[in-house]
Chain A
Amino acid sequence: MTPFLRKFRILFSTQFALMTEYRAEIVIWMLSGTLSLIMMLVWMGQAAAAPGGQIRGFSASDFASYFLATWFVGQLLVVWVAWELDFEVRQGTLSPKLLRPLDPMWGHYSGHVAEKIVRFPIMLVLVSLFAWLAGARFSLDWRVYAAVLGLVVLGFTVRFLWEYSLGLLAFWTESSTSFQEVVWLVYAALGGLFAPLAFYPQWVQNIAVWTPFPYMLGLPANLIAGKATLEQAGQGALVLVGWLAVFILVRLMVWRVGLKKYGAVGA
Chain B
Amino acid sequence: MTRYFRLIRIFTGATISAQLEYRANFLGAVLASLGEVGVALLGIAVLFGQPGTVSVGGYSFHQALLVVGFFMLTEGFISVFVQPNMSKIAEAVRTGSMDFTLLKPIDAQFNVSTRNLNVLRLTDILIGLGLIVYAASFLTVTPGGVVAAAVMYLSALVIVYCIWLALSTTAFWFVKTQNMSELFSGVFGAGRFPVTAFPVPVRAFLTFVVPIAFITTVPAQALTGGLSPLLALASPLVAAVLFVGSRLFWKKAVGSYTSASS
Contacts and interface: CB of A to CB of B under 8 A. Distances in A.
A178 B29 contact: yes
A194 B190 CA distance: 13
A34 B35 contact: no
B189 interface: yes
A35 B28 contact: no
A56 B52 CA distance: 10
B179 A34 contact: no
B31 interface: yes
A185 B38 contact: yes
Contacts of A184: 35
Interface string A15-50: 000000000010011011111001101111110111
A41 B198 contact: yes
Nearest to B39: A185
B56 A46 contact: yes
A10 to B, nearest CB: 29
Contacts of A38: 189-190, 192-193
Nearest to B184: A32
A175 B28 contact: yes
B31 A175 contact: yes
B50 A178 contact: no
Nearest to A179: B31
Given A42-B47, A46-B47, A56-B50, A175 B24 contact: yes
A139 to B, nearest CB: 24
Nearest to A175: B28
A178 B31 contact: yes
A67 B187 CA distance: 17
Interface in A151-200: 173-175, 177-179, 181-182, 184-185, 188-189, 194-195, 199-200
B209 interface: no
B189 A34 contact: yes
B183 A32 contact: yes
A182 B186 CA distance: 18
Contacts of A199: 46, 49-50
A178 B28 contact: yes
Nearest to B203: A45
Interface string B167-208: 000000000000100110111011011000111001000000
A32 B190 CA distance: 12
Contact of B27 (A42, A178, A201): A178
Contacts of B34: 182
Contacts of B1: none
B256 interface: no
Chain A interface category by residue count:
35 or more
Contact of A174 (B25, B47, B49, B193): B25
B32 interface: yes
A175 B29 CA distance: 8
Q: Give the interface SS of chain B, mostly helix, strand, loop or mixed.
A: helix
Interface residues of B, number: 35
Contacts of A33: 186
A55 interface: yes
Contact of A42 (B49, B179, B183, B198): B198
A80 to B, nearest CB: 12
B31 A200 contact: no
B210 to A, nearest CB: 12
Given A32-B182, A34-B186, A41-B199, A188 B39 contact: yes
Interface string A187-224: 01100001100011100000000000000000000000
Contact of B183 (A28, A174, A179): A28
Given A34-B189, A56-B50, A178 B32 contact: yes
Contacts of B42: 185, 188-189, 194
A177 B198 CA distance: 32
B14 to A, nearest CB: 22
B245 interface: no
Contact of A175 (B27, B43, B46, B202): B27
Contact of B46 (A48, A178, A195): A195
A201 B47 contact: no
Nearest to A24: B179
A216 to B, nearest CB: 18
A201 B49 contact: yes
A32 B186 contact: yes
A49 B197 CA distance: 10
B130 interface: no
Given A35-B189, A175-B31, A184-B35, A45 B197 contact: yes
5 contacts: A38-B192, A44-B199, A182-B35, A185-B35, A195-B46
List the 3 shortest-distance A-B pairs measured between CB atoms, nearest first. Answer: A175-B28, A178-B28, A32-B186
Given A55-B53, A175-B24, A200-B49, 13 more contacts: A34-B187, A41-B199, A41-B202, A42-B56, A56-B50, A174-B28, A175-B25, A177-B28, A181-B31, A181-B32, A181-B35, A182-B35, A200-B46
